[in-house]
Structure 1
Amino acid sequence: MKDLKKFNIPFVGLKEGSHLFEYQIDKTFFEAFQFDEFDNANVKVNITLVKKSTLLELAFNINGTVTVPCDITNELFDLPINGKLDLVVKFGPEFNDEHDEILILPHEAYQVNVAQYIYELIVLSVPSKRIHPNVIDGTMQSDALKKLEELKINEEKTVEKTATDPRWDKLKDLLTDK
């Protein structure tokens, strides 16, 4: 996790008020978390930190694209994502991150690492069903769709009249209900 040290925000030396932090996220960020669902990523993260006398308010805004495979055609495409997260950092006797929107840091803490929150915000901003935009509008041209169209069974050609076996016809005579 040494790659994630640049996501430490030292708040001790900051004056009270609003401060802006910007990060550019790419695939190497997700490799630190051993997450390989994205083929590539280009996400801009803006964090507005408002320092107050007893707490910190963090507002995360993400905007960008992640390259993911389509669930239907398995073709890679850039999926636009955006998301927001508000986090309140309070100070207490020990570290506690059980609540989604409140983080409690020990009184002696001098920095907060925001990498986990950025990671979760990006991953949760990606929809569970990822469909290529060209599939939705019907203009998708992929090798998989061409092969499926080529192998499509034409029902008119395959419907043939087959003669039944005379041995089975005798058994049908046993049915008295019809």
Structure 2
Amino acid sequence: MMQDACSYEYNLDDTFFQSIDAPDIRKGKLHANVNIRKLAGNFILDFHIVGTAVVPCDRCLDDVGIAVDTINTLKVKFGICFSDEEEWVIVPEEEGYIDLSWFLYEFIELSLPMQRVHESGECNQEMMTVLHQHLCVEEDESLASDSGQVSEFDTIDPRWNGLKKILDNN
């Protein structure tokens, strides 16, 4: 079986994320290599994306850069109408092309961790002060750090105590 192949490279920067109106990723500087293999009328697209995506921090809402290094595969074939619900993306034969923009964005988005936060101590201190003023938590002495100070992660939401009572009754 004969195999045709070609490669493309894309630089994804702030303009890319603005042009696709990306909901979560504000900015970034990434490089994408896309290798396309044609096998018996179908196409296999292999993506390798490396760089940094900039998203809002879940704690302080300031920008935080998250390293990205992801490898993904997309299977494409021609058909009557567009579909990407199954294992294959079907591209209408009349159009004969596929816009990879949204797929690139999704691969980047899916490679990011669920919790997107700054390293400890790097969050916007003004925002953290305001946040702590509005938190309703009890301090648990057993969670205090060695220095005797309670960090932002060492407090327990009192609602968990109600759930602990349920466990104790069983």
Question: Is the structural similarity TM-score above 0.5?
Answer: yes
Shift of 1:32: 2.2
Q: Which blocks of at least 5 consecutive residues in structure 1 are unaligned? A: 1-14, 152-178
Shift of 1:47: 0.6
Give distance in 2, aligned partners of 1:81 and 1:145.
27
Q: In the alignment, which residue of structure 2 is the partner of 1:3?
A: none
Q: Which has the larger radius of gyration?
A: 1
Out of 10, 13, 20, the position equivalent to 1:33 is 20
2:39 is the alignment partner of 1:52 = yes
Asked if the contact 2:18–2:26 (Cα under 8 Å) also holds between the matched residues in 1, the reply is no
Shift of 1:44: 0.8
Identity, % of aligned positions:
28
Q: In the alignment, which residue of structure 1 is the partner of 2:102?
A: 116
Out of 65, 73, 94, the position equivalent to 2:52 is 65
Shift of 1:56: 0.7
Count of residues in correspondence between the two structures: 132
Q: Provide the TM-score with structure 2 as the length reference.
A: 0.64
Distance 1:111 1:36, change over 3 A: closer
SS at match of 1:67: strand
Shift of 1:145: 7.6
**Aligned residues: CA RMSD:** 2.9
Distance 1:128 1:65, change over 3 A: same
Deviations 1:95-136 (A, max 9, x none): 32222x411223344322211211211122222211212x1x
Q: Provide the TM-score with structure 1 as the length reference.
A: 0.61
Give distance in 2, aligned partners of 1:140 and 1:31.
26
Shift of 1:64: 0.8
Distance 1:69 1:56, change over 3 A: same
Q: Which blocks of at least 5 consecutive residues in structure 2 are unaligned? A: 134-170
Give distance in 2, aligned partners of 1:145 and 1:16.
56
2:91 is the alignment partner of 1:105 = yes
Asked if the contact 1:27–1:38 (Cα under 8 Å) also holds between the matched residues in 2, the reply is no
Asked if the contact 1:43–1:65 (Cα under 8 Å) also holds between the matched residues in 2, the reply is yes
